A and B are shown apart, each in its own frame.
Chain A
Amino acid sequence: MAYKGKAKLRNTLLATGVVLAGMQAVWSSCFVYPRWSKDYSPVQTGRDLIAGSLSADQMLFALAGFRELIAGILWVRADSFFESGNYDAILPIIRLVTFLDPHQIDVYATGIWHIGYNFTDEEQRSDRRYLPAALALGAEGAHQNPTTYELYYETGWLWYHKIDDNYEKAVYWMAQADSKKDIMSSPARRNLLGRIYERNGEVEKALDHWYTLYDIAAAEYDKDTEHRNFELHQNKDTIEQNLDTMLVRMSQRGFFAAKEHRSLEGYDINPPFDVGFGMKVSVPSERVLRIQGNWNVLPVGTRIRCILRDKNFPNAIPGGALWDADLDVNFNPQRDKTYMMDQLFVRNQRFDKTIDMSRDPTMYPFISDDYVLEFYYNPRSAPQHIQDKFGWNGEGMTDSTAEDIRTDIRANTRCMFYSVELKKDQILLRNQYRTQQPVIKSKGFRETEEDYNQSKDRAQIPSLRGN
């Protein structure tokens, strides 16, 4: 075969090559790439590839398959930042480590906690602008590690404890955590779901949950025929006690009566208790609010939530925000927005708190012109002894001025909510407020130094032990 014959072979080869090239493209697009993308790709849906702040050699190593190792080294480095309090430096490391090794549960858990709790102002008020990032990180971690309860639990905890308002979400996450096999090894953690059902007003579900846990604990206890394991005993007892208390509370708060459509006369939550809310806000100096007011509830453990935020703060709702509206792990919160949240502690039916925001201009930039100051009390967040009077859903709560008890801001709940609008000029004491200090009062505010113990409105808070 001379050169002429070769030309023919070349053409055949070329044609074969072209056909194969087409076939590989089809095969790759149909049978390889989609499954790879689903099961093996390091990239998750809706997330960009973040590859900053790795040095070239770290990057190369990471690409070469040493992801877990690099992640480990980075995480060890993060430790020193924790020690030195350089919290901002930790954020990119968390992002990188979770990107490199999305199965480092500890890093996700620490990250959620760190972002949720560690960023605070001088007075230990935490920076809520980071909450969406913490929640998004939790959601991502749970999505990456769906077989373990841990990150569902951590995310649920954030909703339950840190946000402490939207218990529906807490139930959503904690119920998933509770469905994972590995949670069985730590029964104490399962108890939390019962509490959260309660907080969410799902009393019967809480009861079912306690019964389930009790059956498991009792079975475990019986299995240990010689009863040498004290822990099993204790666990069973604790659950039994929780169950009993729950039943007593349901009974006293008239749950069963209401269910049977009997009169609620004489139950703890009836007649409704007048909380007598009133407030006065003044601005003693630039970026400092003094908030005074009255609130009839007993002295221990009562906190009114107080929020000062941009009027157009993204996803804000009365008394809070839809923190998980954008599930995007963005460690750079909206630094031009202001969101301050604090608790007003009540003593002798009155509260008086000075909130100084002048020392944290990065957390409280006060850039926009309009602000909202909100007062919010959700009986579901209240401690048990107060709930015994107010009920799970605020049935036992009212206010003589009636303007601040709201049923429209949280589903199936009577909450106290009151808000006033403030202008930037008022907070910063600018223009006409330079000389004239702004003072705003609500209708129910009482200028008095009256002694709480002498008050005829003194709350009679029932107790399980009786008066």
Chain B
Amino acid sequence: MFKPIIAIAKATVGEAIRRRVLLIILFVAVILLFVAPLLGVLSARQEKTVLTGFVLGIVQLSSAVIAITLTVYMLPNEVERRTIYTILSKPVQRYQFLVGKYLGAVAALALMMGLMACVTLLEFGIIQHDWPKGVELLQGISMFFVQMSLLASVAMCLSTFVAPLVNFFLSGGIYLIGTLGYAFFDSFNKNPNAPVYSKALAWFVSTILPNFASYNVQNKLINPEVQIQNPLQYSINAVVYGGFYIAIMLIAGMLIFDRKEV
């Protein structure tokens, strides 16, 4: 049952790491990571704070673009190039194909984010002489990785019934709402004067949409003076949440993809 999934995932990784678009994004991100220290002058605050924020920002933004670009074309391309027929005419179930593709996407994402993480680590370790900070940033980047896996599952699910270009903006939009929108919902929750119906609506929407904001833990990394109780427990909770949501997205994807006329 797992052999075909693994084979498909491997092939997907092989293809993904050769896609020019992704490599260009990755290249730009790495270049930006290298010039990041120069941007420290833009702030009244100490340079390392800005550098940390900027580096995490680059990793997050480029990973998000990569995650979406990687997944939105995955299924449509297979259909267009008819490779899907050769694969589905083998003893491979559709759900295995979908899961294999998803795992391949996540593995490719891990490779690319791993590269960015290495650059970040080296940048802080060698250039800034602050290895502990570099290692600490890896924690933030691993949370981003879970975030991007979640994003990839959303894009994957959507790609079973939405055209790639639409999906690109749709997933991007969901990502924005899931990251920024949460602050918006939160502002309703924390505002004692907000009307009940708007609070209820905010709660409802935020319960349904994927909570990408959970993985934005850069606050602590950028501002070490911020006190947070038991961040490990929080991370575990957030990762478990991601697991639930990814499973839901994949199941929804399977159900739709299974019925799809390819």
Contact B211 A40 (CB under 8 A): no
CB distance from B77 to the nearest CB of A (A): 25
Partner of B241, one of A27, A48, A69: A27
**A residues 144-159 with Cβ under 8 Å of B?**
145-148
Interface pair A106/B44, CB less than 8 Å apart: yes
CB within 8 A of A148: which of B176, B180, B225?
A: B225
Instruction: Select B186's contact among A23, A41, A71, A104, beta carbons within 8 Å.
Output: A41
Do A64 and B234 have beta carbons less than 8 Å apart? Answer: no
Q: Is the CB of B39 within 8 A of A103?
A: no
Contact in complex: A13, B44 (CB < 8 Å) = no
Inter-chain CA distance A73–B252, complex, in Å, is 43
Residues on A with beta carbons closer than 8 Å to the beta carbon of B248: 17, 20-21, 24
CA distance A27 to B241 in the complex (A): 7
A46 to B188 Cα, complex, angstroms: 9
CA distance A261 to B217 in the complex (A): 61
Whether a CB of chain A sits under 8 angstroms from the CB of B223 is yes
Q: Which of A191-226 contact B (CB under 8 A)?
A: none
Among the 9-residue stretches B55-63, B79-87, B99-107, B109-117, the one with 4 or more Cβ atoms under 8 Å from chain A is B55-63
Given A36-B214, A37-B186, A106-B44 in contact, is the A68-B53 Cβ separation under 8 Å? yes
Which residue from A16, A32, A148 sits with its C-beta under 8 Å from B214? Answer: A32
* Cα–Cα, bound, A47→B191 (Å): 6
Given A29-B207, A37-B186: A65 and B44 interface contact (C-beta under 8 Å): no
Q: Secondary structure at chain A's binding surface: helix, strand, loop or mixed?
A: helix
Does A35 lie at the interface of the complex (its beta carbon under 8 Å from any beta carbon of B)? yes
Q: From residue B69, how far is it (CB to closest CB) to chain A in Å?
A: 15
Known: A23-B244, A36-B214. A64 touches B187 (CB 8 A): no
Instruction: Tally A residues with Cβ within 8 Å of B.
Output: 53
Complex Cα–Cα for A239 and B190 (A): 46
Shortest beta-carbon distance, A250 to chain B, in Å?
39
User: A32-B238, A72-B43, A146-B227 are known contacts. Are A66 and B54 too (CB-CB below 8 A)?
Assistant: yes
Task: Give the chain B neighbours of A76 by CB distance below 8 A.
Answer: 42-44
Within 8 A of A (CB), among B142-157: none
Chain B residue, CB-CB nearest to A79: B44
Task: Flag whether B182 is at the interface (Cβ < 8 A).
Answer: yes
Interface residues of A in 89-119 (CB under 8 A from B): 101, 103-104, 106-107
**Is B42's CB under 8 angstroms from A49's CB?**
no
Q: Please indicate the chain A residues that have their CB under 8 angstroms from the CB of B241 in the complex.
A: 24, 27-28, 31-32
CB nearest neighbor in B for A31: B237
Inter-chain contacts of B214 with A (CB < 8 A):
32-33, 36, 40
Contact indicator B183/A42 (Cβ below 8 Å)? yes
Contact, CB under 8 Å: B190 / A69: no
CB pair A68 B247 closer than 8 Å:
no
CB-nearest residue of chain A relative to B42? A72
A65 vs B222: C-alpha distance when bound (angstroms): 11
Interface size on B, residues (CB 8 A): 61
- With beta carbons under 8 angstroms apart, the residue of A6, A14, A65, A146 that contacts B60 is A65
Bound state CA distance, A63 and B252, in angstroms?
28
State whether B245 touches A24 (Cβ < 8 A).
yes
B197 to chain A, nearest CB (A): 17
Residues of B within 8 A of A277 (CB): none
> Do A73 and B42 touch across chains, with their CB atoms under 8 A apart?
yes
Q: Is B45 within 8 A of A28, CB to CB?
A: no
Q: Which of chain A's residues 219-244 have a Cβ closer than 8 Å to chain B?
A: none
Q: How far is the CA of A271 from the CA of B122 in the complex (A)?
A: 76
Residues of A near B231 (CB, < 8 A) are 39
Cβ of A465 under 8 Å from chain B: no
Interface string of B15-58 (1 = CB under 8 A from A): 00000000000000000000000010011110001101110110
- Cβ of A145: which chain B residues have Cβ within 8 Å of it? 225
A354 within 8 A of B: no
Q: With A16-B251, A24-B245 given, is the CB distance from A63 to B180 under 8 Å?
A: yes
In whole Å, how far is A16's beta carbon from the nearest beta carbon of chain B? 6
Complex: A71 Cα to B43 Cα, angstroms: 8
* Complex contacts, B184 vs chain A, CB 8 Å: 49
Kindly provide the distance from the CB of B44 to the nearest chain A CB, expressed in whole angstroms: 5
Q: Is the CB of A40 within 8 A of B219?
A: yes
Nearest B residue to A75, CB-CB: B44
Chain B CB within 8 A of A8 CB:
no
Q: Is the CB of A24 within 8 A of B43?
A: no
Give the residue name and chain of the B residue nearest to A36 (CB): B214
- Whether the pair A20, B225 counts as a contact (CB closer than 8 A) is no
> Does B213 reach chain A (CB closer than 8 Å)?
yes
**Across the interface, do A69 and B192 meet the contact criterion of CB distance under 8 Å?**
no
User: Would you call A48 and B191 a contact (CB within 8 A)?
Assistant: yes
Q: Mark A334-361, 1 if CB is under 8 A from B, else 0.
A: 0000000000000000000000000000
The yes or no answer to B254 lying at the interface (CB within 8 A) is: yes
> What 8 A-B pairs have minimum CB-CB distances, sorted nearest first?
A72-B43, A68-B53, A65-B57, A24-B244, A17-B251, A66-B57, A49-B187, A64-B61
A sample of 26 cross-chain residue pairs with beta-carbon separation below 8 angstroms, ordered by A number, consists of A10-B258, A13-B254, A20-B247, A20-B248, A20-B251, A21-B248, A23-B244, A24-B244, A24-B248, A32-B237, A32-B241, A33-B206, A37-B189, A40-B214, A40-B216, A42-B183, A43-B190, A63-B179, A64-B60, A64-B61, A68-B222, A69-B53, A69-B57, A76-B43, A103-B49, A148-B225
4 additional A-B pairs beyond A36-B214, A63-B180, beta carbons within 8 Å, are: A36-B182, A66-B53, A68-B50, A69-B43
